[in-house]
Amino acid sequence: MDFDLNEEQRLLKESIDGLLTDSYDFEQRKKYMKEKGGWSKAVWLKLAEQGLLGLPFAEADGGFGGGGVETMIVMEALGKALVLEPYLATVVIGGGFLRHAGSDAQKAAHVPGIIDGSKTLAFAQLEKNSRYDLFDVSTTAKKKGDGWVIDGEKFVVLNGENADTLVVTARTKGERRDSSGIGVFLVPAGAKGVTKKSYPTQDGLHAADITFTGVEVGADAAIGNPDDSLALIERVVDEARVALCAEAVGLMDESLKTTVEYIKTRKQFGVAIGSFQSLQHRASDMFVAAEQARSMSMFATMANDFENAKERSNAIAAAKVQIGKSLKFVGQQAIQLHGGIGMTMEAKIGHYFKRLTMIENSFGDTDYHQRRVADAGGLV
């Protein structure tokens, strides 16, 4: 029973916090947003230089062999600084598929580019009607010779605009909502038949809706078993959920801090508004919500290593529920306590609120996960 970071983890935290303090204040972030693709290549290369892009990969693959706690540290820091760069899409999710099921050849082809910052990935999973069900896949991958032909439409693919390689879920067998017959394929973003409609998202990231029309890939494109990869997808998406929980904790910490600073300095009726009890109690409730979220983020991080997949999923679903409830409260009240200024694009708090809000609706919202926990027979 230990919730402290070890020496190496403390150093990691110091290093990424230091890097982001130097290169990621709110004004710098505005500049990065205007760069091509909506994020900073220079910052990405700095992350690579500090070894952060190789953190979770095995040493044999050129990485540092970091675990869940290391990813939690990084995601919290990225949340705190409201970072735009595609760490989740590239390192956590794209890298996650490669780590868990990539062949030696696939790893050799993709991991070095991720680690040195020269290549990014995107996860093309969401479909028009799939909502949060990972098994709901209409996109097809049909056998052709040794390889595959992919047809279908994917939506809100984060980093889809910039990624070099797309990780695509597609059905090789069965009906739309069958849990078997789903595969995962590595598709070069520039492959013939891939068309993209790119756009900025509400929280300042960039995404794309991507259509695959007769896209031909080789036999080596499939990660894992092309006929039965739902468990793999669930595994990697669980890791993405855990990462989002940590990012949300970082966002909530900074939201609370910013809000408390604001109500200490903003004066009305001749006094700081933070001297009013109604506002103090609201801020206290934000603190409680953020601490409960932190506890569950830690729980999810540790649950990620549970051997029993059902227990793991249930614990991570529970964490996503707590984070969803906490982030909604902290985000909304941060705006409320800022008053009118919180409604403006100019103030940074609204941008935290928007990112928090989008996290709730990523990979299952609060209701979705609460139902999963309920259906699994609870958590006591």
Partner 1 sequence: MDLAFTKEEQAFREEVRQFFRDNVPPDTRRKMVEGRHLSKDEMVTWWRILNKKGWGVSHWPKQYGGTGWTSVQHYIFNEELQSYPAPQPLAFGVSMVGPVIYTFGNEEQKKKYLPRIANVDDWWCQGFSEPGSGSDLASLKTKAERRGDKWIINGQKTWTTLAQHADMIFCLCRTDNNAKKQMGISFIVFSMKSKGVTVRPIQTIDGGHEVNEVFFDDVEVPIENLIGEENKGWDYAKFLLGNERTGIARVGVSKERLRRIRDLAGKVESSGKPIIQDPAFREKLAACEIELKALELTQLRVVADEGKHGKGKPNPASSVLKIKGSEIQQTTTELLMEVIGPFAAPYDVHGDDGSNEAMDWTAQIAPSYFNNRKVSIYGGSNEIQRNIIAKAVLGL
Interatomic CA distance for residues 302 and 137, integer angstroms: 30
Q: Give min distance, CB of 50 to partner 1, in A.
A: 21
Q: Which stretch binds partner 1 (CB under 8 A): 78-86, 204-212, 235-243, 270-278?
A: 270-278
Site string for partner 1, 304-343 (x = CB under 8 A): --------------x--xx---------------------
Is 4 among the residues that bind partner 1 (CB under 8 A)?
A: yes
Encoded amino acid at 180, one letter:
S
Q: How far is CA 236 from CA 125, 239, 276, in A?
A: 12, 5, 46
Is 104 among the residues that bind partner 1 (CB under 8 A)?
A: no
- Whether residue 50 contacts residue 85, with contact meaning beta carbons closer than 8 Å, is answered with no
Q: Give min distance, CB of 110 to partner 1, in A.
A: 29
Interatomic CA distance for residues 214 and 187, integer angstroms: 12
| Phi, psi for residue 356 in degrees, rounded to 5 | -55, -45
Q: Which of 89, 93, 187, 263 binds partner 1 (CB under 8 A)?
A: 263
Beta strands 121-124 and 165-171 are: parallel
Site string for partner 1, 291-310 (x = CB under 8 A): xxxxxx-xx-xxx-------
Interatomic CA distance for residues 282 and 337, integer angstroms: 8
Q: Which of 60, 277, 345, 346 binds partner 1 (CB under 8 A)?
A: 277
Restricting to residues 174-233, name those near partner 1 by CB under 8 A: none
- Whether residue 100 contacts residue 107, with contact meaning beta carbons closer than 8 Å, is answered with no
- Whether residue 322 contacts residue 246, with contact meaning beta carbons closer than 8 Å, is answered with no
Interatomic CA distance for residues 246 and 73, integer angstroms: 8
Q: Give min distance, CB of 74 to partner 1, in A.
A: 14
Interatomic CA distance for residues 30 and 172, integer angstroms: 43
When the beta carbons of 209 and 253 are compared against partner 1, the nearer one is 253
Q: Which residue has the tokens 């595969």?
A: 183
Site string for partner 1, 63-82 (x = CB under 8 A): ------x-------------
The two three-digit tokens of residue 375, written as one number: 């259906």
Is 378 among the residues that bind partner 1 (CB under 8 A)?
A: yes
Q: Which of 64, 132, 155, 287 binds partner 1 (CB under 8 A)?
A: 287
- Whether residue 237 contacts residue 165, with contact meaning beta carbons closer than 8 Å, is answered with no
When the beta carbons of 160 and 324 are compared against partner 1, the nearer one is 324
Q: Which stretch binds partner 1 (CB under 8 A): 104-112, 178-186, 246-254, 369-377?
A: 369-377
When the beta carbons of 302 and 358 are compared against partner 1, the nearer one is 302
Q: Please list, residue by residue across 32-64, b when 16 or more beta carbons sit within 10 angstroms of its beta carbon and e when fewer do.
A: bbeeebbbbbebbebbbeeebbbbbbeeebebb
Question: Which stretches of the chain bind partner 1, using CB under 8 A?
Answer: 1-5, 69, 260, 263-264, 274-275, 277, 279-281, 283-285, 287-288, 291-296, 298-299, 301-303, 318, 321-322, 370-371, 373-375, 378-380
